[in-house]
Structures are given as structure tokens and as C-alpha cells.
Amino acid sequence: MPQLLLATNNAGKVAEYRQLLDGSGWQIVTPAEIGLKIAIDETGQTYAENATLKAVAYASASGLTSLADDSGLEVDALDGRPGVLSARYAGADRTDAERAEALLTELRDVADERRTARFRCVIAIASGEDRVELAEGAVEGRIVREPRGESGFGYDPIFLLPERGLTMAELPAGEKHRVSHRGAAAREARVILERWRSDRQP
């Protein structure tokens, strides 16, 4: 079974991708598991640029097909911020909870009907600079006033799915994967990975 390197050290993302890509025909490995330590400056202006930067760098360093994503929260009342800076919002050394709290503080005086937002995810799969494919997903929602739920990570506790009346962090993992931006992008990525695996077979 070919190995697929997840180009992240984020434990939450690793856990989700192991579930989302289970049964894809690839053995999922992490940088820690193969002893790879590299640092990538996410200098891209878009999710696609950042995901591609990471996927190509990890593929080049490891010799393995690599999958990277870049995702973010876009809040309409903040003109789409934090967007590509979501992971570094309010400072690079902040915790998920601190970033969420900073966002809620900024939205404190914004009426509920104007708190619309979306999660967006772009996945890049690379086997070198010359072979890169992208997959994308998005989900619409609204920012609540206080964190709710214990599951998930990042901004999940403050992102409400209005049709369910629950935040991302209140959803069981299986349901989250069905509706989330990362789940949608991963379903597209599975199609790419299955095709690439077929290409490798004699």
C-alpha cells in the first residue's frame, strides 16, 4: 500500500484526515512518524497557494506523495477576515480558545443576523512540483456569541450550523465529516488519490 504523508503536525487535523481518508487505499503517515522536521512559511495569499506550498515542500523533503490543506474562517462582517490568517489570528502563539475569544470580542457589537460566515478548505496533493492537484470544500454558517461544544478544534465551538441549531463542536464526528468544509474537500481528494493509486499500479 503506498504511503501518503499528511503535511501537518496539527493533531486535530491528523485525527480527522485519518477518518476521512480511511479505506482510500493509502497508508496515512505523519511527519513525526517518519522523523521529518521542516518548517514552511505560509506566504501565499490564498488557501490554494499555501496548501500547494506545504504539499510540494513535504513531498520534496520526504519523497512521498503528500497532502496538505489550508483552511480558514471567513466572517462577512469583518470583510472576510480572518481568512488565510485564521491559524495566526491575534498572534501566532495563541491557543484555539484565545483566537476564538479574540474573534468574539471583535464581533461583540455585531447583530446576530450580520454574523454570517463560512469555513473554507483547500487540499493540495503533490508528488513533486510537477504533479499537484487541488480539492475544495466550504460550509456556510453563523458565529455564535459564546463557545459551545467539546468536539472538534479551531473555531468549531463558535461556528453555528443554523439548519441544525448546533455548532461544529457539538456535532458527532461522523456528522461533522458529512457537512464540514474539510469533509467536502476530502471527498474530492479521495477521488484524486484513488486515481493516483491506480496510476501507480502495473
pLDDT tens string 43-89: 889 999 999 999 999 999 999 999 999 999 999 999 999 999 998 88
70 counts as catalytic: yes
What would the mean pLDDT of 162-181 be, rounded to a whole number? 92
Q: By C-alpha distance, which of 118, 117, 116, 138 is closest to 48?
A: 138
Q: Tell me which residue of 125, 144, 147 sits closest to 134, measured CA to CA.
A: 125
Q: Is the pLDDT of residue 202 over 60?
A: no
Domain housing 65: 3-200
> Per-residue pLDDT averaged across 114-132, rounded?
94
Q: pLDDT digits over 126-136, tens only?
A: 997 789 999 99
Phi and psi at residue 70, in whole multiples of 5°? -135, 130
CATH number at residue 157: 3.90.950.10
Output the pTM of the full model: 0.90
Q: How do residues 8-54 score in pLDDT, each as one tens digit?
A: 988 888 998 999 999 999 999 999 999 999 988 888 899 999 999 99
Report the number of distinct structural domains present in the chain.
Answer: 1
pLDDT of residue 12: 83
- Exposure string over 8-24, b if 16+ CB within 10 A, otherwise e: beeeebbebbeebbeeb
Nearest 5°: the CA angle 190, 166, 101 is 95
From CA 8, how far away is CA 81, in angstroms rounded?
23
d(C-alpha 24, C-alpha 198), whole Å: 11
pLDDT at 115: 98
Q: Please identify which of the residues 22, 41, 70, 96 carries the catalytic annotation.
A: 70
